[in-house]
Amino acid sequence: MKNYFFTMLFACLAAQLFGQVSISKETQSYISHNKGKYILQNLTIVDGTGNQPKYNQDLIINGEIIEAIGEDLPIPENSEVINMEGKSAIPGMVMLHEHLFYPKATPGNSFGVNQMSYSFPKLYLAGGITTMRTAGSIMPQADINIKKAILEGKIPGPKMDVTSPHLDREGTGILELGPFTSTEQAVKMVDFYIEMGATSIKVYNFISKADLKAIVDVAHKKGVKVTGHLCSITYKEAADIGIDNLEHGFFASSDFIADKEPDACEPFNQHKSLLQLPVDSKEMASLIGHLVKKKVALTSTINVFEPYTNREVVPGGGIDALYTEAKEKVYDRWARKQGKDSLDYVLFNKSKVWEKAFHDAGGLLVAGTDPTYDGRIIAGYANMRLLELFVEMGFTIPEAVKICTLNGAKYLEQDTAIGTLEPSKIADFIILNDDISKAIKAIRSIETTFKNGIGYDSKKLFKATEGLVGIR
């Protein structure tokens, strides 16, 4: 795709510029290893390919590139030797449904969001995310400026693929969204956001098939992919039109509503149809086969739907990241839901089976955390939890790592540069204090996130955001 050429061109230019920019004092305060020449010895490596872990590995970094990986490598001249005995490494995570906003702790049923320009870039990097896609922006100009500031070394954060705001018609009750009123206006919005700097387009609940076709046509002509959180349009319809990616696993599928009205969003019937659908239904198997045939990627955000009963208040930890009012609201909702979410458990468990079936059928399953909904989902922490949930779903640890690394890189058409720990690739990876090959819970022991060969102190980044999520 044309998008691949421009992505790689931009990456090359960025790589050339990165060494020339001046890293700000703020960014430098979180750096534990500046760009240089290192040999990290005695690592356990889960490399992102899906292959079995490798033990007693040495990893050589030269600038922003991985130079070599192997056992008992000769120590390069003028390199810093770091003993990693007992530690492990995985590639930097590539997450495809993230946001730089968080729900407001507002009273009643109103739903709004605050932009998290300060806290979320730090939290994502702290949680091991080195590349992310904002799957729907609230303030696209802010996201684009944050992307630029990170690239220039002014603030710490991951590399970013910035998605347009949620393109939708009237109906979505999010105060910060602006609906379009015609297909022609939707096309103009696509053009506008791409010109602004958006590198992906997101469509939402209430659009029509005609809207989607027009959006896909203009986006693809410009080398930009389209993803969707759908309702009015079925997954099969969207796949036939040419959508690139579907969000939230099968939770947003309206394919199984009996006598569904064309272009109509029926949330209650949608939810009911999925609850009633047998987990081993031929209808779901047929839909999975169709999506795989059409090469539509599926983004799992299974953590968003994690039940409350006997689960963490904030999955992945991070309750202390929230400001006081947000923390109180999350605690209150969690307490009220204990023992009252049996239907959530049913659909959660079905969805785990369906997402794995999609993967096992050859579909490209990618990952994201969607830090919105009820406030339990916090950037960085949720990403770590997502890996744990993939293992709970039945994936092996190497498979879970691959979904969160290489698969995302493949979707972004950047897998020649990122997504796995291999020589000649960019030095984007995570150092864990514990051995992730033995237990997935080791993902919560992140010590350092390396991005472009620079090591960032995860604990310092997490600490810097305490009490700020929901404010800034």
**Options 3.20.20.70, 3.40.50.300, 2.30.40.10, 3.30.390.30; CATH of 27-91+420-464:** 2.30.40.10
Handedness of CA 185, 187, 188, 192 (dihedral sign): positive
Could you give phi then psi for residue 444, rounded to 5 degrees?
-85, 5
Whole-number Å distance between alpha carbons of 339 and 337: 6
CATH topology identical between 27-91+420-464 and 93-411 = no
Taking only the tens of pLDDT, the chain with its 472 residues reads: 544 444 444 444 444 444 456 899 999 999 999 999 999 999 999 999 999 999 999 999 999 999 999 999 999 999 999 999 999 999 999 999 999 999 987 666 557 899 999 999 999 999 999 999 999 999 999 999 999 999 999 999 999 999 999 999 999 878 788 899 999 999 999 999 999 999 999 999 999 999 999 999 999 999 999 999 999 999 999 999 999 999 999 999 999 999 999 999 999 999 999 999 999 999 999 999 999 999 999 999 999 999 999 999 999 999 999 999 999 999 999 999 999 999 999 999 999 999 999 999 999 999 999 998 789 999 999 999 999 999 999 999 999 999 999 999 999 999 999 999 999 999 999 999 999 999 999 999 999 999 999 999 999 999 999 999 999 9
Is the whole-model pTM more than 0.85?
yes
Question: Cα–Cα distance between 122 and 173 in angstroms, integer?
Answer: 29
Cβ contacts of 8 within 8 Å, gap of 6 or more: 414, 416, 417
Which residue ranges make up each domain of the chain?
Answer: 27-91+420-464, 93-411
Q: Which CATH architecture has domain 93-411?
A: Alpha-Beta Barrel (3.20)
